[in-house]
């Protein structure tokens, strides 16, 4: 097998540990080019970092108007990855 073959286009990470110094639930979406993080405890805020041009994550692009479309694109991708991560089990009984 070729190790250069891509299996998926992103990594979705759920952090639900509400203990420790952060005490916050987080969702991350990491693509080849960007890293997006949203926080349950801070609605309307997040982090977007350009992984290629800012590998040390020093410049948050969340409020940068030039990245507004990219923010919506990444949030949409995160939402769909979150839905795919949800289990369909147990099957719903009510309303059948």
Containing domain of residue 53, as a range?
10-85
Beta-sheet strands, E only, within 1-96: 10-15, 26-31, 34-39, 46-50
| Residue 80, in any domain of the structure | yes
Tally of domains in the chain: 1
| Residue 30, in any domain of the structure | yes
Q: What is the DSSP track for 71-88?
A: HHHHHHHHHHHHHHHS--
Residue 45: what pLDDT? 94
Residue 25: what pLDDT? 87
| Residue 74, in any domain of the structure | yes
- 53, two tokens: 């041009």
Q: What is the CATH number of the domain that holds 46?
A: 3.30.1120
Residue 21: what pLDDT? 67
The answer on pLDDT for 96 being more than 60 is no
| pLDDT single digits (tens) 1-33 | 888 888 889 999 998 876 666 667 899 999 999
Helix, strand, or coil (residue 44)? coil
| pLDDT single digits (tens) 41-84 | 888 999 999 999 999 999 999 999 999 999 999 999 999 999 99
| Residue 3, in any domain of the structure | no
Task: Name, in order, each residue with C-beta under 8 angstroms of 70's C-beta and a sequence gap of 6 or more.
Answer: 34, 48, 61
Q: Among 83, 7, 11, which residue's Cα sits nearest to residue 51?
A: 11
| Residue 94, in any domain of the structure | no
């Amino acid at each position: 097998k070729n190790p250069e073959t891509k299996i998926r286009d992103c990594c979705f990470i759920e952090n639900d540990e509400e203990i420790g110094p952060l005490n916050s639930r987080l969702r991350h979406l990491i693509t080849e080019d960007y890293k997006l993080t949203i926080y349950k405890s801070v609605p309307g805020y997040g982090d977007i970092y350009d992984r290629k041009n800012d590998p040390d994550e020093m410049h948050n692009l969340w409020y940068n108007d030039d990245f507004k479309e990219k923010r919506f694109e990444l949030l949409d991708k995160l939402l769909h990855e979150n839905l795919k991560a949800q289990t369909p089990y147990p099957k719903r009984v009510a309303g059948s």
